[in-house]
Copies of this chain bind each other. A is one copy, B any other.
Amino acid sequence: MARSPQKKASAPASGNAVTADLVAVLVAVTDGTPKIVTIAGGSALPSGPFEFTHRSLQTALRAWVEAQTGHPLGYVEQLYTFADRGRSGDAKSPHSVSISYLGLTREDKVGEGFEAHWSGWYDYFPWEDHRAGAPACLAKIIAPQLKAWAKAASSPTLQRERWQRCAITFGLDDRDWNEELVLQRYELLWEASLIPEAGRAHGRDAPVVPGKPMTADHRRILATGIARLRAKIKYRPVVFELMPAEFTLLQLQRSVEALAGRLVHKQNFRRLIEQQELVEETGAMAADTVGRPAKLFRFRHAVLAERAVAGTKLPLSRT
């Protein structure tokens, strides 16, 4: 337990040595697929020890990613810090604080000859992609398993409460799907022992929920990152960090949809983008297109000064 304040003022105490790790969720969107940098065959997020030769965590993360990709990292945001005991599964390992970050780039910026590569994030969370309607695995696998878990509660009241939580979190029983609840959904599946990482004693069957697992709590960190990004794109112009220099409005829309995991109304999307003056025409038209050619746009960097701080909006509001 931390000492109580009357015993000390504010100087940091010594002793209590731990190690500090950085874990990064590095996102890109290519052809309507949100991707993340993974290592170890897609079973882990890139991570490494933080070294204090840097002025700050942010600096360290940028330097690390730049060394890996050869390009500066666009948007960076701290996600969460974990310090759970035995986090690595080994109770004897030194205690470690893991500081996770979300970073946005473009896929083409990854350097050569690295173990790291890009994996689609829906490989890890297949139930999160609702662009073609609710995924089959939701109704066929997840909902029944959650129902069974709810039924297994000790009292009828608890059973009802459990199921209500499941229904709200996963949009079951005709409730609306809320794409921002990525972390809550993952944690609920964990609680119900439907996630391999939960590693509890299971009955006859191993957990059957689809989705690729990851080392330690990396999938939880990824869930945190996805949730944060899905929330962020609605009020900050961060999507543009994931776009090429020039793009059509449909490409932009597809990227937003890829991240949010749901479709948006095309005309309304354009209306919002244009009325906020987030983009400007380049004058050129898209070349390789099917159908009527679209104008090419570029991000108006001026808005970063005008409203980086003031907020923007995308048509992804709760219904």
Contacts and interface: CB of A to CB of B under 8 A. Distances in A.
Interface of A: 1-22, 37, 39-40, 43-57, 60-61, 63-64, 67-68, 78, 80-85, 87-88, 93-99, 113-116, 161, 164-165, 168-169, 178, 181, 184, 215-216, 218, 305-307, 309-311, 318
17 contacts: A2-B60, A4-B48, A5-B37, A5-B39, A12-B49, A12-B93, A14-B94, A16-B20, A17-B19, A18-B50, A20-B97, A57-B81, A57-B84, A78-B80, A81-B97, A81-B99, A168-B307
For the complex of A and B, the 4 pairs showing the least CB-CB separation, nearest first, are: A2-B48, A17-B17, A6-B115, A5-B46
A44 B6 CA distance: 12
Contacts of A114: 4-6
Nearest to A2: B48
Nearest to A13: B49
Contact of A84 (B56, B88, B306, B307): B56
Contacts of A164: 305-306
A11 B88 contact: yes
Nearest to A8: B48
Contacts of A52: 16, 18, 83, 85, 95
Given A168-B305, A168-B309, 16 more contacts: A2-B22, A2-B50, A10-B40, A10-B216, A12-B21, A13-B19, A15-B19, A17-B17, A18-B19, A18-B50, A18-B52, A54-B85, A55-B84, A164-B305, A168-B307, A178-B309
Given A12-B93, A81-B99, A83-B99, A5 B68 contact: yes
